[in-house]
C-alpha cells in the first residue's frame, strides 16, 4: 500500500469518528464534551497501538506534534468561515 493509500484510509476512518461525534451532538451532547472525549479516546488508543507496535515515547511526541499542527490547521480553516 502506498503512502497516499495509507493517508486516504486514515482520513476515511477519521471521517467515521467525526460522523459519530456529529450524531452525538445532534442528540444533544455538548460539542466541547464530545471533543474532550474524542481526545481522551485518541490518546488511549494511540498509546495502546504504540505499545503493540513496539513504539517509543519519542514517536508519541511526534504524534502529539502532528495533533497540534492539525488542531491549529482545522481551527484556522473553521475560523475563516
* Residue 6: predicted pLDDT: 67
pLDDT of residue 7: 75
Q: What is the pLDDT of residue 81?
A: 66
Q: Report d(CA 34, CA 68) in Å as an integer.
A: 18
In the chain, domain spans: 3-79
The model's pTM is 0.81
**Euclidean distance between CA atoms 67 and 61, whole angstroms:** 10
Parts of the chain with a pLDDT under 50: 1-3
pLDDT for 1 equals 37
3 state SS of 30: coil
Query: Residue 62: its pLDDT value, please?
Result: 95
What's the pLDDT at 4?
56
Amino acid at each position: 500500500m502506498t503512502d497516499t493509500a495509507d493517508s486516504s484510509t486514515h482520513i476515511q476512518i477519521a471521517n467515521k469518528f467525526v460522523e459519530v461525534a456529529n450524531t452525538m451532538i445532534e442528540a444533544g451532547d455538548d460539542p466541547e464534551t464530545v471533543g474532550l472525549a474524542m481526545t481522551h479516546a485518541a490518546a488511549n488508543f494511540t498509546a495502546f497501538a504504540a505499545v503493540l507496535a513496539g513504539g517509543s515515547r519519542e514517536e508519541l511526541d511526534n504524534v502529539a506534534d502532528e495533533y497540534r499542527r492539525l488542531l491549529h490547521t482545522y481551527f484556522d480553516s473553521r475560523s475563516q468561515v
